[in-house]
Structure 1
Amino acid sequence: MGLASHHIKSTSTQNHRHAAIQLLRESLNMYSNPRDGYFMLDTIIILFSLDETQSSLGNWNTHLVGAYGVLEACGGIQGLATSARAEVQVGMLTWWDAITSLVSREDCVFPYAYCEAVLSNQSDREWDYFGLCGCPASLVKIVMQLARLITFDTNIILELEQALEFWHHISPATAFHDEDGMHCSEAWRNGLLLYIYRVFHWEPGSSIPMHILHRARAIVDHIVACRDESMVSRQALLPLFFAGCELRDRSLRRKILNFCSVWNERTRYHMFSTTIPLLEEIWAEQETRGFENVWWGQVIDRQHMSESCYPLQRRITFG
């Protein structure tokens, strides 16, 4: 991981990755107990993270399908009840699954039952979703539901939208200074509302309502308000991307690009740096075709189509 984060697509990194995949394949043919399965899930999670150090574009579903197969072979959801380690693994994997599916507007790999199993009894665990992905469990639940909303069910969309409108951050009882958590959570709340508008409400050619622009600005303001040293704001890359696609103010756009650049330099996850040309492509197309005629989904779909020559499906992720 350390090598990969400093050397994009280096031969050494690719060799290590290939060796890890080969060992994983061999293990898949040999394992005989759940404990082996959890070790393999660790490997898949590391490979997913390794690929994120290289780019936001990758074979994410390949990793997720492999992980789901391992979990099913280890007893499925029933196995989670006896393993705190597996709960964390599934929490991370289902989060990545949902974020990738949100962006591509395609089916998730993991059934919702896995998400429900992990979301239940969060208060009784040593870990929480905010520590895992920068999003509190109450919003994670909405993320998981939105990612699976492939049909335009008006009632469900309205229900989720209202839940987000009335949602408010509740600080944990043990948190004395939780401003960063509040700001990051608010960025996610507003980002999900932007997503609902663009995916389910927006009509091509129609002007963008002022309240949508206010939400986009609010996301940037909340991320700016996070303490620089905490770096928790980097967990809100997807909401920041959604905000960037709605804003025309050049100073705000520069601020968004600067966040991506700083997060990239500090974490060495080039998922952040590859977000920059994607935003620039969207802005350039908005300038050419008109702001009211372009949205992020068109550009992402085109990128996915350009990758169709690869034998494995490649998608964009922000998580």
Structure 2
Amino acid sequence: MHAATFFDGVGWREGVVELVDGRVRLSDGHSDADLPRLDGVVLGGFTDHHVHLQLVDHAQLSGSRLGRVVDLGGNPGVLRRLARGGIKNAPATSDSGTFFIPHPHPIPRALVVEFAGAFVTAPGGYPSDREWAPEGSVREVADERAAAKAVAEMAATGASCLKVTSNSTAGPIFSDDLFRTIVGLAASRSLPVVAHAEGPGEAQRVVALGAARLAHAPFTEHLDDEEIARQAASASWISTLAIHDGLTRTVAIDNVRRFHAAGGTVLYGTDLGNGPMPNDLNAREIAALREAGLHSDALLHALSPMDPLAPSATLLFLPGASPATADPLAARPLIPADLKV
């Protein structure tokens, strides 16, 4: 047994780590003063709030520092199977983009998968014409009846949110009335709407119409401070900053910087599947969040680590770190060897 400092998702606390049936487990409470102290801090596996599991080798994610992912657009039947069965451990390997720790006694675990199900879009809207969109991953909705059917289908598959697209640069978008209707239908099923907003004025419009979350921090245009304040009070943003470059990246980071300063909730998300990126924490995304002013505990809150006290939790260890110096990119799995005195 070792005393340990851990992050519970809100703040830092004290607990005890010990081996239980060959697995390292964390318990809450103050430890005996005579216990040796773990040289470092402990967290739960991190959350990527924007992934597309059908566009990546998702089996590799179970060997990463992620404990949970939220899929924001795919075939709902496929995603339901992945969520129910979990994504099991992949063979331990290592390459430049993926983080794996070989373990002499692998611990069976499954990555927690949440999902929105299919993209809900206007007829002919984004991404209905995209080759990358998996078969069965788009629902084109023309009216309230079709909207009710799509929302009911996603709720029945076990979705935790509803993905609605509003990309005026790539095709038709919903009218204000129909978008507002979809938000209401989703709310009746306890499904917050996560909106892909792209094009002039779209980020402002969808939040005003009731979207609870933006799938991408606004990147089309600079939002004025009054709009930033409104959004900080009513919606959260998923970062996805690293998918941009040039002026678009500059605009997105500036919007996030001011949104965070205004008290808005920023969530770490990568849009995994949108081009080459690691099946793990994305160092470029972390760097962009820091550039936008998220440091220390603010960065950890964006990464939404899972509850490390949960029986099935994947425990991460930051050797030699303290709460003040905790760097998510330095995290690795906590293993029995770490408890050797």
TM-score (structure 1 length as normaliser): 0.30
What TM-score comes out, normalization by structure 2 length? 0.28
Q: Which has the higher helix share?
A: 1
Larger radius of gyration: 2
Normalized per residue, which structure has more strand?
2
